[in-house]
């Protein structure tokens, strides 16, 4: 008995697994480095549109795409950390819009800096409410944030039905900008969104908090059993997401000094699109904020490129929809392969 | 007679009308492998959960090194040096082996980077993980940076056991560690168990695998109807006798002085 076992052991030395086909190794690599997929897609799109259209790669167009990415890009960061814990946030746009209305209104009464402070507290508080409902009462994030979305949309309209304008000041600081390499226009908002991605990427990959976020999304029971305070991690994620939505509100003021209850009606779905295209798994525990920002860029590049190629804007939505489904399919397939 | 490390006296736990633990006793000695066996529903998992802090008993006392302890959560038991390997292994599959070994106990960078930014020292964690694997003589893992979901069942079990051994300063508890494994992989895990107890840390092995129990256990705690029926030594009984006692087909022999604590 033991003799036969030994031969089996000798016959099967620790050789690397060569059973995988070429296709399997590609999916495997995408699975291990989730940024490669969206990065590749973005590069391919940029090359394709540069060939197909005249103006796509112009400095004007590329700097415009970067500036367009700041609001959804920032919201998508909050969406990403929530999805990483296995949740989803349908209320992110509504939180941003309500806080931008409150900020714009208060700015007229108490000044821009205090108004900003109130807006920050409001966003953190709204994030904390969702976070507490998800972590303490263990309610499904989909339902909690759907409820928040409905409540906050109504609250925004009750608060004001008008379009509010903010004056030039600290609130419009992110719209300031300058030129790089002669012609390339870059705004403070673009710098801030890139910094936000970098800081969050660092926090997720290099700190114990980041590891715990992934662990909770991967297997929350395992996380609890290894002594991680799962409730506190969840709460911290929702509060941080709220803070990011406040930052997104400032980014929105940087893009336009006007805000209204009807602004950004599809921000929640746009951010989920960006996150999914960016390679983050809707099942939680796997993904990157860098990918989500690339996902937001991919959507904008598609829109810009197809517009310049003279294609009906409705086709942009069809292409975006196909991309979302393709990204989720890729995630499911690579997950299954890895099992 | 060697000293008792972990002890439970007259534990009772009820869930509504169901009495899961009905006045159970338990004792574990330094450096031994104690197998806990019992039929399904005998209450052995509930008893183990009391020892690992997962369940708070209604009455009775738990003593670690003779001192009474009150575990309110698995974390409390971990702080006291009791590590448990759960049947579902408690791992984050997308994260690598080193990360899983230190999950919830990450080594921080020195200085303000660690204390303020909570930056983790990935290099140090990988180094210590490798050392831990070497110390336990684990050679089946290719790389410490492999994600856990690329491992076989036996390899995952090995990682879970290595984690428990690394942090279990006083006691390592294993719940059915060989249940999902093939013959060769089981043997590897049983060797690990011997090595851990050989290093002086007692191991509690909950198992249905009677041959495995006879291979590694110094003593066998037989659980029946919510309490400890008796404790026997494998060399005093045949496997059939032990199964008979466990199922109630044979009367339980009285606890011998040298077997009881």
Predicted pLDDT of residue A1 = 34
Whether residue A211 and residue B120 make contact (CB cut-off 8 A), yes or no, is: yes
- Indicate the pTM of the whole model: 0.86
> Rounded mean pLDDT of B32-48?
90
Task: Say if residue A109's pLDDT is above 50.
Answer: yes
Phi-psi region of A84 (alpha: psi -120 to 50; beta: other; left: phi over 0): alpha
Residue A331, min C-alpha distance to chain B (Å)? 13
Query: Would you kindly state where each structural domain of chain B is located, as residue ranges?
Result: 1-81+170-261, 92-167
Retrieve residue A50's tokens: 């540069």
Choose the weakest-confidence range: A35-39, A99-103, B87-91: B87-91
Confidence of residue B252 (pLDDT cuts 50, 70, 90): confident
Query: Would you kindly state where each structural domain of chain A is located, as residue ranges?
Result: 38-333
Report the share of chain A in percent with pLDDT over 70.
90
Q: Dihedral of the CA atoms B211, B214, B216, B217 (nearest 10)? A: 140
Considering only alpha carbons, which residue of chain A is nearest residue B142?
Answer: A14
User: Which residues in chain B touch residue A16, judged by CB atoms under 8 angstroms apart?
Assistant: 142
Taking only the tens place, the pLDDT of each residue in B109-156 is: 998 888 888 899 999 999 999 998 888 888 888 889 888 988 888 888
Whether residue B104 and residue A215 make contact (CB cut-off 8 A), yes or no, is: yes
Residue B66's contacts (CB-CB under 8 Å, 6 or more residues apart) are: B4, B7
Retrieve residue A313's tokens: 């804007």
More confident residue, A331 or A96: A96
Task: Say if residue A9's pLDDT is above 50.
Answer: no
- Domain A38-333 CATH (choose: 1.10.287, 1.10.3470, 2.20.130, 1.20.120): 1.10.3470
> Rounded mean pLDDT of B169-173?
93
- What rounded mean pLDDT belongs to chain B? 89
- Alpha carbons within 13 A on the beta-carbon side of A8: 8
Predicted pLDDT of residue A337 = 65
Predicted pLDDT of residue B178 = 84
Taking only the tens place, the pLDDT of each residue in A68-91 is: 999 999 999 999 999 999 999 999
Taking only the tens place, the pLDDT of each residue in A29-50 is: 666 677 888 899 999 999 999 9
Task: Say if residue A324's pLDDT is above 80.
Answer: yes
CATH architecture, domain defined by B1-81+170-261: 3-Layer(aba) Sandwich (3.40)
In whole angstroms, give the CA distance from residue B216 to residue A27: 43
Retrieve residue A23's tokens: 């296709």
Predicted pLDDT of residue A11 = 35
Burial of A282 (0-12, 13-18, 19+ CB in 10 A): middle
Task: Say if residue B261's pLDDT is above 70.
Answer: no
In whole angstroms, give the CA distance from residue A287 to residue A246: 23
Confidence of residue A180 (pLDDT cuts 50, 70, 90): confident
Count of helix runs (H) and strand runs (E) in chain A:
14, 4
Choose the weakest-confidence range: A96-100, B236-240, B253-257: B253-257
User: Which residues in chain B touch residue A209, judged by CB atoms under 8 angstroms apart?
Assistant: 118
B→A contacts (Cβ < 8 Å), by residue, are 74-75, 78, 84, 86, 88-95, 99, 103-106, 108, 117-120, 122, 140, 142, 147, 149-150, 183-184, 187
Task: Say if residue A276's pLDDT is above 50.
Answer: yes
> Rounded mean pLDDT of A88-100?
97
Predicted pLDDT of residue A7 = 35
Best B82, B92, B120 member to test A by mutation, with max A CBs in 10 Å, is: B92
Handedness of CA A40, A41, A44, A47 (dihedral sign): negative
Bridge partners of B83? B172
User: Which residues in chain B touch residue A222, judged by CB atoms under 8 angstroms apart?
Assistant: 88-92, 103
């Amino acid at each position: 008995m033991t003799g036969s076992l030994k031969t089996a052991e000798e016959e099967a030395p620790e050789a690397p697994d060569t059973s995988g086909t070429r296709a399997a190794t590609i999916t495997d690599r995408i699975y291990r480095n989730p940024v490669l997929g969206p990065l590749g897609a973005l590069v391919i799109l940029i090359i394709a549109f540069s060939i197909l259209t005249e103006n796509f790669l112009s400095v004007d167009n590329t700097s415009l795409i970067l500036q367009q990415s700041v609001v959804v890009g920032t919201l998508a960061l909050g969406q990403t950390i929530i999805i990483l814990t296995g949740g989803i946030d349908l209320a992110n746009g509504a939180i941003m819009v309500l806080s931008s209305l409150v900020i714009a209104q208060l700015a007229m009464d108490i000044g821009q800096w205090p108004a900003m402070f109130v807006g920050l507290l409001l966003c953190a508080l709204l994030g904390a409410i969702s976070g507490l409902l998800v972590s303490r009462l263990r309610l499904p994030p989909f339902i909690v944030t759907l409820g928040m979305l409905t409540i906050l949309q109504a609250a925004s309209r009750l608060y004001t039905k008008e379009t509010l304008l903010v004056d030039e000041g600290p609130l419009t600081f992110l719209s300031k900008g300058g030129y790089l390499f002669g012609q390339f226009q870059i705004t403070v908002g673009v710098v801030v969104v890139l910094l936000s991605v970098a800081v969050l990427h660092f926090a997720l990959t290099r700190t114990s908090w980041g590891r715990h976020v992934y662990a909770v999304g991967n297997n929350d029971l395992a996380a609890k059993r290894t002594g991680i305070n799962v409730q506190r991690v969840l709460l911290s994620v929702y509060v941080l997401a709220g803070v990011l939505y406040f930052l997104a509100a400032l980014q929105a003021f940087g893009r336009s000094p006007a805000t209204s209850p009807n602004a950004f009606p599809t921000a929640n779905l746009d951010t989920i699109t960006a996150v999914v295209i960016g390679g983050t798994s809707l099942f939680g525990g796997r993904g990157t904020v860098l990918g989500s920002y690339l996902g937001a860029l991919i959507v904008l590049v598609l829109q810009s490129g197809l517009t310049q190629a003279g294609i009906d804007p409705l086709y942009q939505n069809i292409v975006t929809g196909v991309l979302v489904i393709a990204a989720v399919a890729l995630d499911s397939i690579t997950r299954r392969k890895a099992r | 007679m060697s000293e008792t490390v972990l002890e439970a006296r007259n534990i009772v736990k009820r869930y509504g009308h169901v009495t899961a633990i009905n006045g159970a006793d338990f004792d574990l000695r330094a450096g031994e492998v104690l197998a806990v066996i019992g039929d399904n529903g005998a209450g052995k998992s509930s008893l183990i959960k009391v020892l690992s802090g997962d369940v708070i008993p209604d009455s009775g006392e738990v003593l670690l090194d003779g001192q009474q302890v009150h575990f309110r959560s698995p974390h409390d038991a971990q702080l006291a040096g009791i590590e448990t390997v759960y049947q579902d292994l408690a791992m984050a599959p997308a994260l690598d082996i080193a990360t899983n070994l230190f999950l919830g106990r990450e080594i921080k960078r020195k200085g303000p980077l660690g204390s303020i930014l909570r930056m983790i020292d990935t290099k140090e964690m990988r180094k210590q993980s490798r050392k831990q694997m070497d110390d336990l003589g684990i050679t089946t893992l290719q790389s410490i940076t492999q994600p856990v979901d690329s491992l076989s069942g036996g390899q995952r079990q090995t990682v879970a056991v290595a984690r428990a051994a690394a942090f279990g300063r006083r006691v390592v508890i294993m719940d059915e560690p060989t249940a999902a494994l093939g013959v060769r992989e089981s043997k590897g895990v049983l060797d690990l168990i011997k090595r851990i107890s050989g290093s002086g840390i007692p191991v509690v092995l909950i198992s249905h695998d009677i041959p495995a129990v006879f291979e590694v256990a110094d003593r066998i705690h037989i659980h029946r109807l919510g309490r400890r029926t008796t404790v026997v030594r494998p060399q005093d009984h045949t496997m059939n006798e032990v199964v008979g006692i466990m199922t109630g087909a044979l009367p339980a022999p009285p606890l011998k002085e040298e077997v009881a604590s």
